[in-house]
Amino acid sequence: DAGVTQSPTHLIKTRGQQVTLRCSPKSGHDTVSWYQQALGQGPQFIFQYYEEEERQRGNFPDRFSGHQFPNYSSELNVNALLLGDSALYLCASSLGFGGSFEKLFFGSGTQLSVL
Amino acid sequence: AQKVTQAQTEISVVEKEDVTLDCVYETRDTTYYLFWYKQPPSGELVFLIRRNSFDEQNEISGRYSWNFQKSTSSFNFTITASQVVDSAVYFCARGGGSQGNLIFGKGTKLSVKP
């Protein structure tokens, strides 16, 4: 049973470009959350998708957008990249929206470097 | 903001020593959940434990143990007889209330030297 898979594992972009990161949730999970982890910091919540809608959002600008597909996979899009967007982007999947966080699993992340 | 504070930025111990990682959280919720995750250099967050606010029973699992005290809003994590493979960054996190996301501390980097 595959866990949470993210692609690509590493990505290098330049300022002003746009990037799309992908996440496939663990089998049976229907909720996907995205987190940004800057170097030396804890992960920070970007947003959460459930039933193909953004349900909650953290303190991130509109340059960060997402999508969830009918098969529950998700994409994170970042437009007009800034140097400060360089970070590890983590995807987490779970079953159901809100609730008790039971069976919350994280992927290995995508390391984004903005030059 | 309801923060999670891990006051220890880095800890270095020698193998076989016991080590305790501290975590203090803030919350206005009556129902919430506390977590510890381990992040090795590979980057993946490895789940260690989840506790709900109604379960203050402390737990021991092999070399790991957890001390949850609501009175002091603390959720500390102890590794007994540490090993080199325990070297990683450890994160404490809180979730619950109206939020569907986790709030993480800044992490404690544990280095276990042979």
Summary mean pLDDT of chain B: 91
Q: Read off the pLDDT of each residue in B27-54 and give the average, rounded to a whole number.
A: 89
CB-nearest partner of B99 from A56, A88, A107: A56
Residue B4: its pLDDT value, please? 96
CB B22 within 8 A of CB B7: yes
Beta partners for residue A44, in sequence order = A36
Q: Read off the pLDDT of each residue in A23-51 and give the average, rounded to a whole number.
A: 94
Specify the residue for token string 């790991």. B64
Antiparallel, parallel or unpaired: β A5-7 and A19-24? antiparallel
Q: How far is CA A19 from CA A16, B13, B45, in A?
A: 10, 41, 23
Are the beta carbons of B101 and A56 separated by less than 8 Å? yes
Please report residues of B whose CB lies closer than 8 A to that of A55: 100
CB A35 within 8 A of CB A46: yes
Largest CA distance in chain A: 39
Q: Any idea what DSSP says for residue A38?
A: -
User: Tens of pLDDT along A40-90?
Assistant: 999 999 999 999 999 999 999 999 999 999 999 999 999 999 999 999 999
Q: Percent of chain B having pLDDT more than 90?
A: 68
pLDDT at B41 over 80: yes
Reported as type and span, the H/E element at residue B2 is none
Specify the residue for token string 């381990």. B38
What are the tokens at B26?
């803030």
Confidence band for B31, pLDDT divided at 50, 70 and 90: confident
Q: From A21, A12, A11, A111, select the one nearest A64 (Cα to Cα).
A: A21
Residue A100: its pLDDT value, please? 65
Interchain CB contact of A110 with B (< 8 Å): no
Reported as type and span, the H/E element at residue A32 is strand A31-37
Q: From A93, A50, A54, A100, select the one nearest B96 (Cα to Cα).
A: A100
* Chain A from 17 to 46: CB within 8 A of any B CB: 31, 33, 35, 40-45
Rg of chain B on CA atoms, in Å: 14
